Structure 1
Amino acid sequence: MKIRVLGCSGGIGGKANLTTSLLVDEDILIDCGTGVGELSLEALMAIDHVFLTHSHLDHLAMLPMLIDTVADLRSRPITLYASEDTLRILRAHLFNWLIWPDFTAIPDRLHPLLRMQPVKVGETVHLGERAISPVPALHSVPSQGYALRGRQGTLAFSGDTTVCDEQVAALNAIEDLHYLLIEAAFPNAHQDLAHAARHLSPSMLHRVLDRLNGSPEIFVTHFKPGHADLLAREVLAYDGRLRPHLHLLGNGQTFDL
């Protein structure tokens, strides 16, 4: 399994700031932020599965355009996996014929261009030799991360979250955790904003890292563009046990599992 970072910024502004999306092999997306717009039409047509962490636009902005662009060029629907709460939000507020067509009813309910599949913590989706399982997260809307298991180990993606005891426990339960992609959206000076928005600041992230039992390679994501340099300094100021394993996530990075 090969995972490529299409976007990992907490905002937009030039090629360096593309919002969250991970391409798994050629056919799976984890989130569907603006980084997806960098893919060719041929690459977009190959996407069969999209896993969403939550309903915020920076993580799904390109989903409506993806479906609209490729749907009539494909012989089967795209399957969208998310929590039932997130799918309910999308049905009510996005695929509602007002903001965007309801592709679950085009051309009809029996032959849709988009299929929605609820998936929750405790369940696993098997796609060939690949296994994708939700992990808990705690954000301002219903949210979950994902653990991606390949033949060589597991990569976990926190999604958007604040400190979440259940997520820490889930990460510690993954015996073959090779990589952890985890967010830090606001600098320490904006701790109140981080708490209100249910994101991590670097100091909060450091406390989470101190609670991890294993030694995965850790890549920090979701920096707000206007604070990226400060966030990088504050994240890398960590001096705990996992400091040699701590990195910043970048567009185009790849992981093999």
Structure 2
Amino acid sequence: MKLTVLGCSGGIGSGRQTTCLLVDDDVLIDAGSGLTALDFEQLVKIDHVFLTHAHLDHVLGLPLLLDSVGDLRGAPVTVHALPEVLEVLSEHLFNWKLWPDFRRIPNAEAPWLRFEALAADGALTLDGRVFRPLPAHHVVPACGYHVATAAGSLAFSGDTGHSDALIAALNAIPDLRHLIIETSFENELKDIAILAKHHWPESLAAELQALRVAPEVWITHLKPGNEAAIMNEVRTAAPGWGVEALMQGQVITL
């Protein structure tokens, strides 16, 4: 399995793109502005999108994807997410007001878009890759994802603050090779991080301390302009982990 980072920033500007991860050439995890980095021919190949939550920086590329290539595909793009996330998309995005409902275009019998609700403890296997939701603690219903392959596992936290449930789930993955976890704010902005349910370096360090597995750790969702300061604080708070910032264009293989 190959995971390509199309976007991993907590914002935009100077080439930054928001969260979108490409698994091989047919699956997306989140659909932020990083989706716009794909060539047209690559867009046509996207069959499945796994969403962590419905915030705009994680879904804004999805309507444009469908509008651009929906008529060229032989099957609908399937969006997988928690039921509460799909409800938000139905009411506030694909509602004929902000954007057309592609579950009805060109008709309900042959649409360009299909929703498939994921149970919090469910799993879906696609060509030998198993996608499982992971617990997350955010201001809206959210999850992360565990992607399992025969060569090992990768976990992505999505947007989250402290979560005992997430740590327990990660500790239950003995072959966890890569952990992509968010840290959005510097320590001095701890109060904002708590309010928005995001990590700051000291809270991330506490999560890592609770891990009984030893994956490579990649930090994502850094706020624009603060990346270097946040990473310096992460390395100070969590010495010995060798944490690195996830980079746009990076490829992780399993």
Asked if Structure 1 and Structure 2 have the same fold, meaning a TM-score greater than 0.5 normalized by the shorter chain, the answer is yes
5+ long unaligned stretches in structure 2: none
Worse-superposed segment, 220-229 or 179-188: 220-229
Counterpart Cα distance in 2 of 1:129 and 1:245? 30
Equivalent position of 2:12 in the other structure: 12
Equivalent position of 2:192 in the other structure: 193
CA drift of 1:14 comes to: 2.0
CA drift of 1:222 comes to: 0.4
For residues 1-257 of structure 1, the aligned pairs below 5 Å read 1-15=1-15, 17-240=16-239, 243-257=240-254
CA drift of 1:30 comes to: 0.2
CA drift of 1:256 comes to: 1.1
Residue 247 of structure 1 aligns with an amino acid whose one-letter code is E
SS at match of 2:18: coil
Contact preservation (8 Å) 2:29, 2:50:
yes
Contact preservation (8 Å) 1:3, 1:254:
yes
Worse-superposed segment, 176-185 or 119-128: 119-128
Counterpart Cα distance in 1 of 2:223 and 2:241? 24
5+ long unaligned stretches in structure 1: none
* Deviation per residue, 1:39-85 (Å, 9 max, x gap): 10000000000000000011111010001000011111000000000
List structure 1 segments (4+ residues) > 6 angstroms apart after TM superposition.
none
* Deviation per residue, 1:62-120 (Å, 9 max, x gap): 01000100001111100000000000000000000000000011122221110000012
Counterpart Cα distance in 2 of 1:214 and 1:168? 10
The CA RMSD measured in Å over matched residues stands at 0.9
TM-score, normalised by the number of residues in structure 2? 0.98
Contact preservation (8 Å) 2:154, 2:177:
yes
Residue 256 of structure 1 aligns with an amino acid whose one-letter code is T
Contact preservation (8 Å) 1:216, 1:245:
no
Counterpart Cα distance in 2 of 1:244 and 1:135? 22
Identity %: 46
* Deviation per residue, 1:196-246 (Å, 9 max, x gap): 000001110000000000110000010000311211111111345xx2442
Counterpart Cα distance in 2 of 1:113 and 1:170? 34
Contact preservation (8 Å) 2:102, 2:111:
yes
Counterpart Cα distance in 2 of 1:239 and 1:197? 22
Residue 252 of structure 2 aligns with an amino acid whose one-letter code is F
**CA 1:224–1:239 in structure 2 vs 1: closer, same or farther (change >3 Å)?**
closer
Counterpart Cα distance in 2 of 1:226 and 1:61? 22
TM-score, normalised by the number of residues in structure 1? 0.97
* Deviation per residue, 1:165-189 (Å, 9 max, x gap): 1001000000110000000001110
